Amino acid sequence: MTSQVVEARGADLPPPAELETLVQQVLDEAKRLGASASEAGVSLEAGLSVTVRLGEVETLEYHRDRGVGVTVYFGQRKGSASTSDFTPHAVRETVRAACDIARYTSEDSCAGLADAELMARDIPDLDLCHPWDIDATRAIEIAQRCEAAARTADARISNSEGATLSSHQGLRVYGNSHGFTGGYPSSRHSLSCSVIAGQDEHMQRDYWYTVARRHEEMDAAEQVGRIAAERTVRRLNGRKLGTRQVPVLFAAEIATGLFRSFIGAIRGGSLYRKSSFLLDHLGKQVFPDFVHIHEQPHLRGALGSAPFDSEGVATRDRDLVTDGVLQGYVLDSYSARKLGMQTTGNAGGVHNLSVDAGSLDFDGLLRELGTGLLVTELMGQGVNMVTGDYSRGASGFWVENGAIQYPVEEITVAGNLKDMFMAIAAIGNDIERRGNIRNGSVLIERMTVAGE
């Protein structure tokens, strides 16, 4: 039997033992009602969020959420239910509801818990929880400083959509009838700002944000506001482009979406449904040979770190792409069984997907681009995951001789993701670290830019 729960820090969270006990009560009740297997998760979250607009408090919210979810199996029939009521009666009724559902569902030969031998045996403290002892007064003051820095950065800043400061911490404990119980606390703090600039009859908006597990690692409020203002002002007086084929540079925070599409294409659900443009590409070249993409789930303090996935399966470092060749898929236990494979510990998603950087910084990528398009914003949902066809509304900057010339707007960038991945010419060392995917800016040799 494995039971390891990393101790929670912070007065807003209860002792982990309380949640462990509740998980065990759920599992015991499921067994009493005849379930052949069961799993349960209990979560508690607490936090503060404040939004300031034009110097005044617009919203102030305290969050305190909790929930317990249970999934039971009667052979290969599955049922799930959840509640936010932790009283013994409510918990028993929730388990009973899950059992009633399971009795009426069809059998599924791939249903069931992840294999017992794959459960996490060692749950390290990954340094994921750093509560911020901040009250509403202090939160308002920081948000006001951020917005003020943006509004005073340039005379062309004419309005504001506000600045928002959020601070959250949580604790989740998961257990199943294999005898596994594990949990860990986490924290997440963020500050964002969005402003509007005007010149003549033209108006533009843009934003910036910072996020971290430790509030000390967030960018300064004034810096966030200043960057938001700079990004907004530089978009004024945007021009349109005629349709052409040119090299395209995706800024790091935008390029993250390309790799998110890649993960979507190698996710088990897309593969067993045969709805992926990378179907049957395991062991095949999908990127240029300099591309290395891998998971690093145990990075201390990183936003995507986790010692185990949402099925209790131990996470581990692994390569998804080596020398441009696809090495593995992204699978939970169900999709793995559908494909005749084994789970990769990705129930709930990937953990710190890292794309190795090249030698060029952002300015070096602009020089490598030469003449073409720098994309800094994408709009719309024009990605077909079955065919790989890609067409998104975009805005950014026209670049000539490696230097930004002027902003562009009302354009579309289009291609096919398979071709785009293979046409990656360089990946920058300006790594975007504010999420679960860590990558630099991406230069693609050629795409269609549609405009006038």
Q: Domain range holding 421?
A: 244-450
Mean pLDDT of 15-39: 95
Q: Are residues 201 and 279 in the same domain?
A: no
User: Which residues have C-beta within 8 Å of that of residue 402, sequence separation ≥ 6?
Assistant: 366, 367, 368, 369, 370
Give the pLDDT score at 7: 56
- Paired strand residues for 72: 38, 79
Give the pLDDT score at 11: 47
Cα gap 99→355, rounded to integer Å:
43
User: Which residues have C-beta within 8 Å of that of residue 404, sequence separation ≥ 6?
Assistant: 366, 374, 397, 398
Q: Which residue has the tokens 């249970």?
A: 70
Mean pLDDT of 51-55: 98
Q: Are residues 103 and 65 in the same domain?
A: yes
Mean pLDDT of 362-370: 97
Q: Is residue 328 within 8 Å of 342, Cβ to Cβ?
A: no
Asked if the model's pLDDT at residue 264 lies above 50, the reply is yes
Fill in the amino acid letter for 5.
Answer: V
Fill in the amino acid letter for 288.
Answer: P
Give the pLDDT score at 16: 81
Q: Which stretches does DSSP call E strand in 114-271?
A: 157-176, 180-199, 202-212, 244-250
Both tokens of 107, joined, read 């059998």
Both tokens of 123, joined, read 């749950």
Give the pLDDT score at 12: 61
Q: Which residue has the tokens 């994921």?
A: 128
Position 382 in a domain: yes
Q: Are residues 392 and 265 in the same domain?
A: yes
Position 348 in a domain: yes
Q: Are residues 421 and 354 in the same domain?
A: yes
Position 238 in a domain: no
Position 169 confidence tier, pLDDT thresholds 50, 70, 90? very high
Q: Are residues 11 and 104 in the same domain?
A: yes
Q: Are residues 207 and 332 in the same domain?
A: no
Cα gap 180→29, rounded to integer Å:
16
Mean pLDDT of 160-166: 98
Position 117 in a domain: yes
Position 14 in a domain: yes
Give the pLDDT score at 1: 46
Predicted structure pTM score: 0.93
Position 239 in a domain: no
pLDDT averaged over every residue in the chain: 95
Q: Are residues 106 and 223 in the same domain?
A: yes
Asked if the model's pLDDT at residue 69 lies above 70, the reply is yes
Last residue of a domain, one of 171, 200, 233: 233
Position 402 in a domain: yes
Position 4 confidence tier, pLDDT thresholds 50, 70, 90? low
Q: Are residues 60 and 129 in the same domain?
A: yes
Q: Which residue has the tokens 């009667």?
A: 74
Residue burial 178-201, b: 16+ Cβ < 10 Å; e: rest: bebbbbbbbbbbbbbbbbbbeeee
pLDDT tens digit sequence for 368-409: 999 999 999 999 889 999 999 999 999 999 999 999 999 999
pLDDT tens digit sequence for 295-322: 999 999 999 999 999 999 999 999 999 9
CA angle 331-332-336, nearest 5°? Answer: 65
Kindly state the helix (H) or strand (E) to which residue 99 belongs, with its residue range: helix 88-104
Cα gap 38→31, rounded to integer Å:
8
Q: Are residues 29 and 10 in the same domain?
A: yes
Position 407 in a domain: yes
Residue 22: name the closest of 37, 41, 8, 6 by CA. 41
Give the pLDDT score at 191: 98
HSE-CB of 246 using CA atoms within 13 angstroms: 24
Question: 224: domain CATH number?
Answer: 3.30.2290.10
Last residue of a domain, one of 165, 199, 233: 233
Give the number of domains in the chain: 2
Position 2 confidence tier, pLDDT thresholds 50, 70, 90? low
Q: Are residues 223 and 253 in the same domain?
A: no
Handedness of CA 50, 54, 55, 58 (dihedral sign): negative
Last residue of a domain, one of 170, 198, 233: 233
Helices 136-151 & 221-233 angle (0-180, nearest 10): 30
Both tokens of 61, joined, read 């919210």
Q: Are residues 221 and 323 in the same domain?
A: no
Mean pLDDT of 331-339: 98
Q: Are residues 220 and 284 in the same domain?
A: no
User: Which residues have C-beta within 8 Å of that of residue 8, sequence separation ≥ 6?
Assistant: 14, 15, 16, 129, 171, 185
